[in-house]
Structure 1
Amino acid sequence: MATQTPLLRSLLPCARTPFLRTLSSHLRPCTNYRIQHRRHLQHEATPPSKIPEFAFAFDIDGVLVRSSDPLPRAHKALSYLQSQRIPFILLTNGGGKHESERVADLSSKLDIPLDTSMFVQSHTPFADMHEYKEKTVLVMGGDEDHCRIVAERYGFKTVVTPGDIFTAYPAVWPFSQQILEHYKSFSRPLPKPILPNEPENSLKIDAVFVYNDPRDWGLDIQILQDVLLSHQGILGTWSNKNGKSAYRNKGFQQDGQPPLYFSNPDLLWAAKYHLPRLGQGGFREAFEGVWAALTGGPSAGVELQKVVMGKPHEPTYRFAEKRLIAHRNDLNKGVGGELDLLKRVYMVGDNPESDILGGNSYKSPNGTDWASVLVQTGVYMEGTVPAHEPRMVVGDVYDAVQWAVAQEGWRSK
């Protein structure tokens, strides 16, 4: 931490310890802190007379749950915040289901009332992409066609999946024939056939959205390659600009091909297995490797043109801050009076490459300070030095809430 802000100077000794010393020296004071300040969250839970100037954004996997199992003190942390009307939202790179389904599932697991207005998952910003809702989009990832259903609930009228294409044309990917019957159980007829000799009557893709971690990487990579090498997104065609040095990017993705959106950059995530597992970022890296092999890649002056959303990218944090401000306004309706500006958000996460990097990098247009807090219950492994330095390292989500509340000097009014 090169520059000491007033907040940093006010931190406990464990935060003032140089970060590159052993983590044991980092965490012993944090353990003492937990004992010294336990009463902070155990005082009477009388709702405050004013909404505080700070709030929280929590990652989910590795912070509140691990796979499908709630982490031990997640309920305790969130129930305290709700009792004190301290605003928080859930900000996750996960997805694959509609927000209402995820919220209902989490509410049940954590035994906490939650609302979709408090929830931002990786593909939630796709719901605002109205320019594609009357067009034909290709949606990839997730279990069966669940992500198609999410897209339709967002308002997209014509949604195609790789499974639809594979079921209609099994020869498009000869290596998944053994699960063709599985695909048939949830695929739908294509809105148009694939007719490369009649491009005006052929299936045309206007945008590609990767909503969630793909399951059948081989099929999805093949279909995505076909779309991005096509003429204007028309399946079965090949752009005559591909590989031509007279064009920008050597002609690749310069012939009206659809834009490509990834919702989640995470290479790894905390699943039930004791070691982190590959996520959507792994699929993207695999596709970019194939793309480079086909096109020559960066060494030949060719880049994969794409938009990557989710943490740590700025658009996701900007979207989340808007949601958090709206949630504070809703909470204030139950309190009344003038609502102060939101001064600080504590970004609590387990992944240094997404949660911590994103919290550290985000520059709020409202001047809100985003303070990153790293927990040890997910991707981050104790005894290692995070690639991106948080404001604080703590044991779990309850420790994170304790620490932040102490920093703010919060007491119920």
Structure 2
Amino acid sequence: PSFGFLFDIDGVLVRGKTPIPAARAAFQKLVNSQGQFLVPVVFVTNAGNCLRQKKADQLSQLLGVPISQDQVMMSHSPLRMFKRYHEKCVLVSGQGPLLDIAQDLGFCQPITIDTLREKRPLLDAIDHDRRPSVLVVFCNCGFLTAVVLFGEPVRWETSLQLIIDVLLTSGYPGNPYQQENYPHIPVLACNMDLMWVAEAQSPRFGHGTFMVCLENIYKKITGKELKYEALMGKPSRLTYQYAEHLIRTQALQRSWEQPIHTLYAVGGPATLSQDHEIGLSWENELASAAAARCRSVLVCTGVYNPHTEVPLDTRDSVTETVFHGHRDFRFDPGLVEPDHIVPDVDAAVDLVFQLENFAP
């Protein structure tokens, strides 16, 4: 095959933990009688609260076909390329098995928000019931060289406070704020989704909402913009380049000799272009991804609203339809318009097979 699939999960295959009926039918068309995929497939999710293997196991049970962890791309998967931080002490924010996730990605010295709070209990003062009853002796927890935001945390007030502390003290939380130290230590963020679709009738807050809070608190205190070393997860260019790398690796392992020319992203709109000021040092590591054409197939089972108008510019979005993308993405209406719109994922597979003249 000369094409491959990039499948969103939330709103395409599931709503929360409830399978979308069309999903199983779609994937029966994508495998042979031995359960092997007929075309390269990668699942691209903005989830970041578990290991790839756990997500692969969930998908296998959900879809009734065997899925390997090498077919799963979490929002944090591209962090494997940021090797310059792997040996350093970094603060990690989110929920789930954070240390396991960080170490699986290559980080040798991750410190969680909870660990930092235990070492510096005086810093977490919003919840009166969690304040220390006695003053704790000063504890040096070392120099934090970067902040990695895996996903939305549970106690937002604690995470916001401690991350701000780390940024304003150049990695030495507990020290006095040093506003002259700008730019701050690097921040790497995964999953910019403002909202996501679960079983509720309306979309729920995502990690992007937490990031909006962090950005605005930082700017209110310092008068300056919070800067990101990298943003990853849909719809960043980095994520789709890394997914293309996984597709090509999969084709190589299956000894499919025909080059992959077209990738079909089934789920949300195509990638938005990212501001050039964000670090691009990872691009050399993806040189093997030869820029296959990516076409978007939008399904109507997720957050998509066919009646929403497209704003001309993010700066005008207060008076026009609100732009829900991240602050550091330039808005291009041409990129948001999908190449195809179909009712569900089963119809998407049928459409792609038809476009590619592919007969399983």
TM-score interval (norm. to shorter): 0.7 to 0.9
1:303 aligns with 2:225: yes
Tell me whether 1:153 sits opposite 2:83 in the alignment. no
- Choose the corresponding residue for 2:60, options 83, 107, 111: 107
Amino acid at match of 1:223: L
For residues 236 and 170 of structure 1, the distance between their equivalents in structure 2, rounded to whole angstroms, comes to 10
Contact 1:205 1:227 (C-alpha < 8 Å) held by counterparts? yes
2:79 maps to what in 1? 126
Residue 292 of structure 2 corresponds to: 368
Q: Equivalent residue of 1:103, what SS?
A: helix
> Cα 1:359–1:380, aligned 2, differ >3 Å: closer, same or farther?
farther
For the residue of structure 1 that corresponds to 2:213, the secondary structure is helix
Q: Partners in 2 of 1:239 and 1:217 — Cα distance?
A: 21
Question: Paired residue for 2:282?
Answer: none
Q: Give how far 1:169 is off.
A: 3.3
1:236 paired residue among 162, 174, 180: 174
* CA distance 1:119–1:180, change in 2 (3 Å): farther
Q: Structure 1 405/177 Cα, relative in aligned 2: closer, same or farther at 3 Å?
A: farther
1:99-158 per-position Cα deviation (integer Å, ceiling 9, x unaligned) = 111111221122220011111110011123222222211110123xx1222112333222
Is 1:403 matched with 2:327? Answer: no
Q: Is the 8 A contact 1:194 1:235 kept in 2?
A: no
SS at match of 1:159: strand
* SS of residue in 2 equivalent to 1:227: helix
Partner of 1:204 in structure 2? 143
Alpha-carbon deviation of 1:219?
0.7
List gaps (5 residues or longer) in structure 2.
276-286, 311-332
Q: Matches of 1:367 and 1:305 in 2, distance apart?
A: 28
1:336 counterpart residue number: none
Structure 2 distance, partners of 1:66, 1:180, is 38
Distance in structure 2 (CA, Å) of the matches to 1:407 and 1:194: 65
Tell me the distance in 1 between the aligned counterparts of 2:245 and 2:253.
Answer: 13
Aligned-pair CA distance for 1:162: 1.2
Q: Which residue of 1 aligns with 2:17?
A: 68
RMSD: 2.6
Contact 2:122–2:131 (CA under 8 A) maintained in structure 1: no
In the TM superposition, what is the alpha-carbon distance from 1:358 to its structure 2 partner? 4.5
For residues 279-358 of structure 1, the aligned pairs below 5 Å read 279-296=206-223, 302-306=224-228, 307-332=230-255, 339-349=257-267, 351-352=268-269, 356-358=270-272
Preserved CA contact (<8 Å) 1:264 1:280: yes
Deviation at 1:175, TM superposition (A): 2.4
Indicate yes or no: 2:309 matched with 1:379. Answer: no
Check whether the contact 1:55–1:344 (CA below 8 A) recurs between aligned residues: yes
**Are the aligned partners of 2:12 and 2:301 in contact in 1 as well (CA < 8 Å)?**
yes
- Greater share of residues in helix: 1
Please report the TM-score for the alignment, with normalisation by the length of structure 1. 0.71
Question: 2 CA distance for matches of 1:318 and 1:194?
Answer: 45
- Work out whether residues 360 and 390 of structure 1, in 8 Å CA contact, stay in contact via their aligned partners in 2: no
Tell me if the contact between 2:166 and 2:172 (Cα under 8 Å) persists in the aligned partners: yes
- The 2-side partners of 1:271 and 1:322 are apart by 29
- Structure 2 distance, partners of 1:359, 1:373, is 18
Q: How many residues align?
A: 316
Q: Which residue of 2 aligns with 1:27?
A: none
Q: The residue matched to 2:42 in structure 1 has which SS?
A: strand
Greater Cα radius of gyration, structure 1 or 2? 1
- How big is each residue's C-alpha offset from its partner over 1:289-317, in whole Å with a ceiling of 9 and x where there is no partner? 11111012xxxxx2211121111111111
Structure 1 distance, partners of 2:11, 2:182, is 39
What is aligned with 2:322? Answer: none
Q: Hey, what does 2:91 align to over in structure 1?
A: 138
Question: SS in structure 2 opposite 1:322?
Answer: helix
In the TM superposition, what is the alpha-carbon distance from 1:71 to its structure 2 partner? 0.9
Q: Which amino acid aligns with 1:324?
A: I
Stretch moving more, 267-276 or 55-64: 267-276
Compute the displacement of 1:203 (Å). Answer: 2.3
Gaps of 5+ in 1: 1-51, 182-192, 196-200, 244-250, 297-301, 334-338
3-state secondary structure, aligned to 1:379: coil
Deviations 1:290-346 (A, max 9, x none): 1111012xxxxx22111211111111111110000011122236xxxxx12111111
Instruction: Give me the whole-angstrom Cα distance separating, in 1, the residues matched to 2:107 and 2:121.
Output: 26
| Shift of residue 369, structure 1, vs aligned partner | 1.0
Q: Which amino acid in 1 is paired with 2:118?
A: T
Give how far 1:54 is off: 1.1
Q: Identity of paired residues, percent?
A: 31
How far apart in 1 are the matches of 2:74 and 2:52? 7
